[in-house]
Amino acid sequence: MALKAMRVLVVMALVAALMQLSQALGIAQFRRIAAQNNVTFMLVFGDSSVDPGNNNRLATTTKGNFLPYGKNFFNGRPTGRFTDGRLATDFIAESFGFTNAIPAFLDPTIKKIDLLHGVSFASAGSGYDDLTANLSAMKSLGATRLVVVGVPPLGCMPIVKTLQDQTACVESYNKVAASLNSKIREKLAILRRTIGIKAAYIDCYDIILDAVNKPKKYGFTETAKGCCGTGTVEFGDTCRGLTTCTDAGKYIFWDAVHPTQKMYQIIARQGLESLDVNALF
């Protein structure tokens, strides 16, 4: 089926996911509205926060296709996801009823049928380049709906706190993240007016910051370090083969940069519940 014959939901992620917007929806209601509008396909663009394994096939040292990454994924196998299990985009796809794990476009075992409901082009370390041009190109290919996920509170990452020799979140880094998120929202408003694409913004900043400040609310006990190794500096290859915490579900971060599967699930759930339906449908 050609892209132009589909209603396409594009999820672009910078470093992770989601915030409260007006006119919140329940998951079941959102799935029903999506089905009524024939939203059947999800494309994912971003970095290591949503890379399901594309970097396994790229000439880069930024990989997560070894244990303990994937420790809590299906069958306890590493896939290239930089966490212990699934990503926020996997949970979002599952909420839509598409699939329980978005495949990587470069996965050599991927089948045509796997592409019917979604695929990820995300690559760890890629970040963003020209947002406006990319959105225009997507619209010309048939993308009709866009969800852009902002950046998290960077100053709360364990590695940032370690490098800055601080125990609390580094406020200067958080201010940069908040400023970027503000500019993204402004850019989306302009694009909605100029190219007419339906778009919504999801900000993970407040969700993660709330979890850091109120861990008991979410069942967390550790907010300052990751589950892998010392949890203060390890991520990617420096996490290879290291011991981990006993229960990753008690940790916000899996390594010194990336959230745990549980945190990603919280991000996905709260993000979908907070989406502004009028912005997308």
What H or E segment, with its residue span, contains residue 12?
strand 7-13
- Classify residue 194 as exposed, middle or buried by CB count within 10 Å of its CB (0-12, 13-18, 19+): exposed
Asked if residues 22 and 58 have their Cβ atoms less than 8 Å apart, the reply is: no
Of the candidates 127, 104, 123, the one whose C-alpha atom is nearest the C-alpha of residue 62 is 123
210 assigned to active site:
no
Tokens 């926060």 correspond to 49
Structure tokens at 275: 């989406």
Tokens 């598409």 correspond to 98
258 assigned to active site:
yes
Distances (CA, A) of 175 to 128, 148, 182, 256: 19, 19, 11, 20
* DSSP assigned state of 202: E
Residue of 48, 120, 126, 274 marked active site: 48
SS (H, E, C) 74-121: HHHCCCCCCCCCCCHHHHHHHHHCCCCCCCECCCCCCCHHHHHCEEEC
- Total residues belonging to the chain: 281
Structure tokens at 209: 């910051």
- Separation between Cα atoms, residue 281 and residue 277, nearest integer Å: 6
Residue of 90, 95, 258, 274 marked active site: 258
Work out the angle at residue 63's Cα, subtended by the Cα atoms of residues 207 and 143, and round it to the nearest 5 degrees.
Answer: 60
Residue of 84, 206, 255, 274 marked active site: 255
117 assigned to active site:
no
Q: Which active-site residues does the annotation give?
A: 48, 255, 258
